[in-house]
Structure 1
Amino acid sequence: MTAIVVAGGGLAGAAAAAALARAGRDVTVIERDAAPAHKICGEFLSVEAQASLAAIGFDVTALGGHRISRLRLVRDDAAVSVGLPFEGLGITRRRLDAALLDHAASCGTVVRRGVAIRGVDCRDGLRLDLAGEAPIRPDMLLLATGKHDLRGVRRQAAEPEALVGFKMYFRLNPAARQALAGHIDLILFDDGYAGLQMVEDGMANLSLLVDRARLQRVGGTWTALLADLVKRNTLLADRLTGSVPLLDQPLTIFRVPYGFVHRPAANDRDRVYRLGDQAGVIPSFTGDGMAIALHSATRAANAIIAGHTASAYHRALRRDISGQIRRAAALYRLARMPLAQRALFGVAGTFPSLLRLAAQYTRVPPRARSALY
């Protein structure tokens, strides 16, 4: 029997495993990908996320990410720029997750790559059904599978909206790289928004979220959507002129339950701890999803070390993150509506400090962090 199994070797799973292993616990991470891979997830590490990594002995600055200290809000041909209340770091999940999983292994975690968990049976203890292998029965399970649910322990989320997410890396022209340096460009367009930022090795990450109906109206493909956005937005056109796509196809995702926060219930499994997107899903670019993932990892590890139940952990985590996710969800709804976009942009142009305030109020609150560190 394995004492603790972490399902998923991403940010939350690897961080929790490292924390538990450093405390002397017997931990195994089961990761379905056999090798490091790009993920359609956030790639902006706030100061809180960086502090969470430092607390488990991980030096993220050694990975060569791009330092980001300003936000540029863009709509049509107008832009408003403001300094962030902290300095963030842009780094690909492929590089970060691989290094963090290696760190967990160096702390004593057993890492099993290329193994898929088919489902979880909680009727008589815990049983994990593995693809091509005999089932295993851990004492505890940390669910850190991101936006992917496992049979038997699916999230009880409301019906998600019909939104499509895309992500592509580009090699920008020198002038565009210089203009984007140190910034996140948050680009508003009808029925969606996009974020453009630099990551490591001179690459730029363009991620966007669009209503499915809008996507269908412009042709239903990434190529057609990008061409339409470039035609309508001069800044984005300037950024992508002469750029080179670095993936054969964009990463895509559909029907993500943005705004979900796990609500502890009487039928919760007492030894199943939900981490990251399995505990709460904050909208992309309007919240700090990577910090939430790392915060949940720290809180779960602390709860297990202290002997607290999964229900107690979930109640505490919900108190920590529900307000943040609720505020980010409201901002993300505004960011997708044409009339609200214009109002938001007008207010930001007159009072740019409100952008800094929005960034502060969509982060993990200090009171929640102070309870852990």
Structure 2
Amino acid sequence: MGADTGFRCRRGRGGEAGLPVQALRRDNPVSAPLILGAGPAGCAAAITLAEQGRTPILIDRDVKVGDPLCGGFMSWRTVAALRELGVDPTALGAHRVERLMLFAGDREAQARLPEAAWGLSRHALDTALRARAISLGARLEIDRARSLSSGRIEGERQEWRGDTIFLATGKHDVRGETRPREASDPALGVRVRIPAHPDLSRLIGDAIELHLFDGAYAGIVLQEDGSANVCLALRKSRLSRDGSPLELLRSLADRYPAFAERWRHAPDDLAIDTVGSVPYGWIADGTDPGLYRLGDQAAVIPSLAGEGMGIAIASGRSAAQAFLEGKAAPVWQGEFARRAARPVTVAEAIWKAAETPGLARLGLAAATLIPGLATMAMRASRI
């Protein structure tokens, strides 16, 4: 492991996976901005636009807010940005996080976070953001996008047209705007939610945990209901050794004692969510006129940095403000690419080290000897 990911900063285009879409009806004036995807990035853009008197069309495929695989942890900067948007995670019952715990084999190290962070499910966060956007005047439409082209979204319900489109479909691509997926050994994502248990709360407490494995890593943090959100990132070749996500998780529990302590609280019928071919390290440094690419459609930071939500919120707010100021989408996209380059590059370097056992142990030893090292890395990987 630790080989080149195959991803580079380049002009990005959308993908396949059909997230919801919506737009103005054909007989309406083409004036309202269209936002494809009502997750954190899309809702941040909608709130910012609505606060300035615009009426954005917020499009999503789901009437009921789900609980997406990615997310569950918010840094101090992300929480500050959310509060400026009118959504306070603490009011939603978010779990306070004050420490980073690192595990590699039989070794462990810890560091205080620069400031308090929070664990909160995507269901709770996305529900609150969507409600906030609608309360300010954003119009929510339910449709599933089949394809995306200049000023046009083809949905299952109808065709939507608009001068400006904000693409906020997360890790899912829409046909016509596909991101490159060139890695010979692509990254995959696996998520499980272990039900609340007193022993689990005692083990994890106020920490965000990072468990480093051979060819993979897992982040674990408690959510607002006491459950543990376990997000695993790994190479496709690593999954091939075990055959299935469940067998992989069981294998990791057999080999790594600290992970086994958490995993023993998982029920036999635990639901497992997966996402394939995640282009970690990819940054869109260009776009088409009228198309602002947000969140993971703008930059995909390795999840061990815990800054995916930060990039989503920051990109949504920044792109919406650029639109209000009359800044062209390609100009803004280039600016945001430069802004995202440092945290993504830092996180990618840490990721490559983390998935290589020897480097992971060396990094853990360094973090133990130099307590401020982990804090420096956390600050450097913030947007």
- Tell me the TM-score normalised to structure 2 length: 0.89
Q: CA deviation at 1:160?
A: 6.8
Deviations 1:287-332 (A, max 9, x none): 4111111110111011011111101211211121111111111111
The structure whose RCO (Cα within 8 Å, separation 6+) is larger is 2
Q: Distance in 1 between matches of 2:266 and 2:181?
A: 39
The 3 A distance-change label for structure 1 pair 232 and 10 is same
**Which 4+ runs in 1 deviate beyond 4 A?**
none
Alignment pair present for 1:216 and 2:244: no
CA contact (8 A) 1:14 1:101 kept: yes
Once the two structures are superposed, the pairs formed by residues 108-119 of structure 1 within 5 Å of their partners are 108-113=137-142, 115-119=143-147
Q: Distance in 2 between matches of 1:160 and 1:187?
A: 24
Query: What does residue 69 of structure 2 align with?
Result: 40
Letter in 1 for 2:258: L
Query: What does residue 186 of structure 1 align with?
Result: 210
The one of 310, 316, 336 equivalent to 2:355 is 336
Q: Distance in 1 between matches of 2:182 and 2:363?
A: 27
The 3 A distance-change label for structure 1 pair 290 and 242 is closer
Note the residue ranges of structure 2 that are not aligned, 5 or more in a row: 1-28
Q: Which moved more, 1:172-181 or 1:59-68?
A: 172-181
Query: What does residue 370 of structure 1 align with?
Result: none
Once the two structures are superposed, the pairs formed by residues 86-105 of structure 1 within 5 Å of their partners are 86-105=115-134
Q: CA deviation at 1:285?
A: 1.5
Q: CA deviation at 1:173?
A: 3.2
Alignment pair present for 1:240 and 2:266: no
Query: What does residue 358 of structure 1 align with?
Result: 377
Q: CA deviation at 1:345?
A: 1.6
Deviations 1:132-174 (A, max 9, x none): x231211210000011111222235644742221100012431
Q: CA deviation at 1:69?
A: 0.8
The one of 190, 199, 205 equivalent to 1:175 is 199
Q: Distance in 2 between matches of 1:202 and 1:244?
A: 15
Q: CA deviation at 1:10?
A: 0.4
Q: Distance in 1 between matches of 2:60 and 2:170?
A: 11
Question: For 1:152, what is the secondary structure of its paired residue?
Answer: coil
The 3 A distance-change label for structure 1 pair 211 and 121 is closer
Once the two structures are superposed, the pairs formed by residues 128-207 of structure 1 within 5 Å of their partners are 128-131=153-156, 133-156=157-180, 158-159=182-183, 161-207=185-231
Residue identity (%): 34
The one of 78, 100, 109 equivalent to 1:80 is 109
CA contact (8 A) 2:67 2:122 kept: yes
CA contact (8 A) 1:287 1:328 kept: no
The 3 A distance-change label for structure 1 pair 102 and 70 is same
The 3 A distance-change label for structure 1 pair 170 and 100 is same
CA contact (8 A) 1:156 1:262 kept: no
Query: What does residue 250 of structure 2 align with?
Result: 227
Alignment RMSD (CA, Å): 1.6
Note the residue ranges of structure 1 that are not aligned, 5 or more in a row: 365-373
The 3 A distance-change label for structure 1 pair 46 and 232 is same
Letter in 2 for 1:251: D
Letter in 2 for 1:120: L
CA contact (8 A) 2:211 2:218 kept: yes
Question: For 1:202, what is the secondary structure of its paired residue?
Answer: coil
Letter in 1 for 2:216: G
Question: For 1:255, what is the secondary structure of its paired residue?
Answer: strand
Q: Distance in 1 between matches of 2:175 and 2:264?
A: 45
Query: What does residue 13 of structure 1 align with?
Result: 42
Alignment pair present for 1:53 and 2:82: yes
Q: CA deviation at 1:67?
A: 0.5
Question: For 2:278, what is the secondary structure of its paired residue?
Answer: coil
Question: For 1:224, what is the secondary structure of its paired residue?
Answer: helix
Deviations 1:332-363 (A, max 9, x none): 11111122112112212222221111101100
Letter in 1 for 2:187: L
Q: Distance in 1 between matches of 2:232 and 2:265?
A: 20
Letter in 2 for 1:295: A
The one of 7, 22, 28 equivalent to 2:51 is 22
Q: Distance in 2 between matches of 1:48 and 1:249?
A: 31
Q: CA deviation at 1:119?
A: 1.0
CA contact (8 A) 1:173 1:241 kept: no
The 3 A distance-change label for structure 1 pair 160 and 142 is farther
Alignment pair present for 1:121 and 2:149: yes
Question: For 1:136, what is the secondary structure of its paired residue?
Answer: strand
- Tell me the TM-score normalised to structure 1 length: 0.91
Question: For 1:129, what is the secondary structure of its paired residue?
Answer: strand
Query: What does residue 283 of structure 2 align with?
Result: 261
